[in-house]
Amino acid sequence: MTTERLDTRLDTPTDATATYVFSVCRQLDPGALTGLAGLADGFPVRGLRFGSLTAVVQHVPAAEFTEDAWQQRLSDREELEHCARAHHDVVTAAAACGPTAPLALATLYRGDERARQALAADTDRFAAVLARIEGHAEWGVKVYLPAAAPGPAATAPPGPHASGGGAAGGAGRAYLERKRGLHQAREQHHDRALRTAEDIDTALSRLATATRRLRPHGPELTGEKHRLQILNATYLVSSVRVRRLLEAVAGLRQGTGADVEVSGPWVPYSFVGEV
| Residue ranges covered by each domain of the chain | 17-133, 136-271
Are the CB atoms for 104 and 88 separated by under 8 Å? no
Give the lowest-confidence range in 9-13, 57-61, 80-84, 267-271.
Answer: 9-13
- E strand or H helix that includes residue 60: strand 53-61
Distance CA(57)–CA(59), nearest Å, equals 7
Q: What is the pTM of this model?
A: 0.79
Query: How many C-alpha atoms does 261 have within 13 Å on its Cβ side?
Result: 10
Are the CB atoms for 100 and 25 separated by under 8 Å? yes
**Higher-confidence position of 153 and 230:** 230
Q: Domain 136-271 carries which CATH code?
A: 3.30.70
Are the CB atoms for 138 and 235 separated by under 8 Å? yes
Distance CA(161)–CA(158), nearest Å, equals 8
DSSP-assigned letter for residue 76: S
How confident is the model over 33-52, as pLDDT tens digits? 999 999 999 999 999 999 99
Contacts for 167 with CB less than 8 Å, ≥ 6 apart: none
How confident is the model over 58-97, as pLDDT tens digits? 999 988 888 888 888 888 899 999 999 999 999 999 999 9
Are the CB atoms for 37 and 86 separated by under 8 Å? yes
Distance CA(68)–CA(73), nearest Å, equals 9
How confident is the model over 128-173, as pLDDT tens digits? 999 999 999 999 999 998 876 545 544 455 555 554 555 556 666 6
